[in-house]
Amino acid sequence: MPDKPHRPFVEIFDTTLRDGAQTEGISYSVDDKLRIARKLDELGVTFIEGGWPGSNPKDAVFFERARTEPWTHARIVAFGATRRASLTPADDPSVRALVEAGTTVCAIFGKSSVLQVQEVLRTTLEENLKMIEDTVSYLRAQGKRVIYDAEHFFDGYRLDSAYALQTLQAAVRGGAETIVLCDTNGGSLPWQVESAVQEVIAHLGPVPVGIHAHDDTGCGVANSMAAVRAGARHVQGTINGYGERCGNANLCVVIPNLELKLNLRALPAGALPRLHEVARFVAEVANLAPNEHMAYVGDSAFAHKAGVHVSAMQRHPDAYQHIDPTVVGNQMRVVVSELSGRANVVSKAGELGLQNLDAATGARIVELIKEREHAGFSFEAAEASVALLVRRLAPDYQPLFSLLDYRGMVSRHGDRSMAEATIKLSIGGHEVHTAAEGNGPVNAFDQALRKALQPLFPQVKEIQLADYKVRILNSNNGTAAVTRVLIDWHDGAARRWSTVGAGTNILDATWLALADGYEYILTPQVAPRAVTIS
């Protein structure tokens, strides 16, 4: 999307490394935090909050190492609190740690709510105002830019608006460059946020105002948008919406909303298409599965399953998409399932290089998919199996190999278990018989299959199983239930593919998924051509 210099600018303050690290199940190493910070800098966010240097040694090490990094776009921010009631800022170890972190920007939080001051800090309202002003003023005297986070602001504003506004004025007197209104408990609704932000902006005048929203009502993104509509020009959040409890405002949704829906500038020109990559990168480093249904960047965000949708989009790409997915680095996908119509199949075949399906072929493919999904298969996430299903309908199709026999054995000797598999294949008219051991029957099966294929297909050694998933479909049948096996593959390069198998025998289901996986990648890719049933 070409940049428009006249578009108003919104600062993006990313707190994935601090607030996002409070997600249950996330524990970043220092190296993890640096890797994510570099990726965020490449994306072009304005600020990266690295952590709380006064709270743990890991964050202190992060800031030490961050000082040697050549940051291009972002400012690294150290996070902390106002001084304690009994200390001056210079005597408070956590405030001194902010100075020692060596960042040019600090973000500090203070209490905005009468309840929080009296019941949590257990100090006076007047002392809290001094704590805010003194700490901001001290950091400014140390040469720091200061962003002030007004913790529990919206709750405090509803409880006692006059005092909540006094806390903001204290930060302004101290020299804070931006006042950020925090919905710390995440309980506010968009119209409440928009009204309060309008009133704060009228009260503070030219001082920039920001928003820090949590998602406890599912309104983190909506509350951020409401604040920006009201005049906020600084938004805090996290990649993928990570954060304590229900998470923070999701920057992967906030940023494209700002750029594409509100016509505001949030990233450098040309950076928005990196968003999909950044979302998946952060999920990988955090060791969490990506949310495939996330707006904009989820792999299902532009996936189309209903036949009427796909048919309409063949006529016009905007029929069922609110933006061009490539703008955020994503792509449109057609999902093939038992709900598919011929339009889905034709579109998917085109993606796979198989063009001009005739009506009979399209109808037959739809029929096969519905039959197999009724038997337990699921083709939505197994596009390689869909490709093979289409290829196998061609009159000149020849299987790369076929199974003649297999046998599996599992035994235990003392505290050591062993699995062994034998397999007999027909490859090019020749019978190949191999055996292998593995750490389980599936691994042994895969190893035996590899041994059979590798003499003719040496590239097999590059093929890896990235994931092996098993789902029991009709668990009420107990051990006689149908088992679905989904395998994700890669070849060490950029190619990734997925296959599926199903059956009441887990090894039969595994064989189908394994055979599809190897045949798909080892078969020379056919040039785009017509496929018809003879």
Q: Which of 196, 241, 195, 197 is nearest to 219 (CA)?
A: 241
pLDDT in tens, 398-423: 889 999 999 988 888 777 888 999 99
Paired tokens of 356: 């001009």
Return the number of other C-beta atoms located less than 10 Å from residue 18's C-beta: 22
Q: What is the pLDDT of residue 472?
A: 79
Whether the CB-CB separation of 79 and 314 falls below 8 Å is answered with: no
Q: Are strands 483-490 and 496-503 parallel, antiparallel or unpaired?
A: antiparallel
Q: Where in the chain is the domain with CATH 3.20.20.70?
A: 11-286
Q: Which of 524, 531, 7 is nearest to 264 (CA)?
A: 7
Of 3.30.465.10, 3.40.50.2300, 3.30.160.270, 3.30.450.20, the CATH number of 402-529 is 3.30.160.270
352: pLDDT strictly greater than 80? no
113: pLDDT strictly greater than 60? yes
Q: What is the pLDDT of residue 152?
A: 97
Q: Are strands 416-427 and 430-438 parallel, antiparallel or unpaired?
A: antiparallel
CB-based contacts of 206, cutoff 8 Å, min separation 6: none
Q: What is the pLDDT of residue 381?
A: 63
CA distance 163 to 170: 11
pLDDT grade for 311, boundaries at 50, 70 and 90: low
52: pLDDT strictly greater than 70? yes
Paired tokens of 532: 């018809």
Average pLDDT value over all residues in the chain: 87
Paired tokens of 338: 């038992």
Q: What is the pLDDT of residue 529?
A: 33
Q: What is the pLDDT of residue 416?
A: 81
CA distance 457 to 123: 75
Q: Where in the chain is the domain with CATH 3.30.160.270?
A: 402-529
pLDDT in tens, 201-220: 999 999 999 999 999 999 99
Torsion of CA 84, 89, 95, 100, to 10 degrees: -160
Please report, in angstroms and rounded to a whole number, the separation of the first and last CA atoms in the chain: 47
- What interhelical angle do 342-351 and 307-315 show, nearest 10? 60
User: Does the domain at residues 11-286 carry the CATH identifier 1.10.30.50?
Assistant: no
Q: What is the pLDDT of residue 375?
A: 74
Please give the full DSSP string across 441-480, using - where no structure is assigned. HHHHHHHHHHHHHTTT-GGGGG-EEEEEEEEES-GGGGGG
Q: What is the pLDDT of residue 206?
A: 95
Helix runs in 205-338, H state only: 220-229, 251-256, 275-286, 307-315
Highest average pLDDT, of 102-116, 386-400, 477-491, 515-529, comes from: 102-116
Classified as helix, coil or strand, 75 is: strand
CA distance 512 to 486: 10
The most distant pair of C-alpha atoms in the chain lies apart, rounded to whole Å, by 90
364: pLDDT strictly greater than 60? yes
530: pLDDT strictly greater than 50? no
Share of the chain above pLDDT 90, in %: 61
Q: Which of 79, 77, 140, 141 is nearest to 110 (CA)?
A: 79
Q: Which of 245, 209, 214 is nearest to 227 (CA)?
A: 209
Whether the CB-CB separation of 92 and 149 falls below 8 Å is answered with: no
CB-based contacts of 530, cutoff 8 Å, min separation 6: 354, 355, 356, 357, 358
346: pLDDT strictly greater than 70? no
Share of the chain above pLDDT 70, in %: 86
pLDDT grade for 468, boundaries at 50, 70 and 90: confident
pTM of the model: 0.71
Q: What is the pLDDT of residue 338?
A: 46
Q: What is the pLDDT of residue 8?
A: 93
Q: Are strands 464-472 and 430-438 parallel, antiparallel or unpaired?
A: unpaired
Answer with the residue of higher pLDDT: 295 or 357.
Answer: 295
CA distance 217 to 246: 8
Q: What is the pLDDT of residue 382?
A: 74
- Residue 382 gets which letter from DSSP? -
Paired tokens of 63: 């800031």
CA atoms within 13 A on the CB side of 463: 25
CA distance 81 to 144: 15
pLDDT in tens, 477-513: 666 678 888 888 888 766 788 888 888 888 888 989 9
- What interhelical angle do 57-66 and 30-43 show, nearest 10? 50
| H or E element at residue 202 | helix 190-204
Q: Residue 297 is which amino acid?
A: V
316: pLDDT strictly greater than 80? no
| Overall average pLDDT of the 156-182 stretch | 98
Paired tokens of 82: 């106002």
Whether the CB-CB separation of 18 and 53 falls below 8 Å is answered with: no
- Residue 267 gets which letter from DSSP? S
What are the phi and psi torsion angles at 168 (to 5°)? Answer: -70, -40
What are the phi and psi torsion angles at 191 (to 5°)? Answer: -70, -30
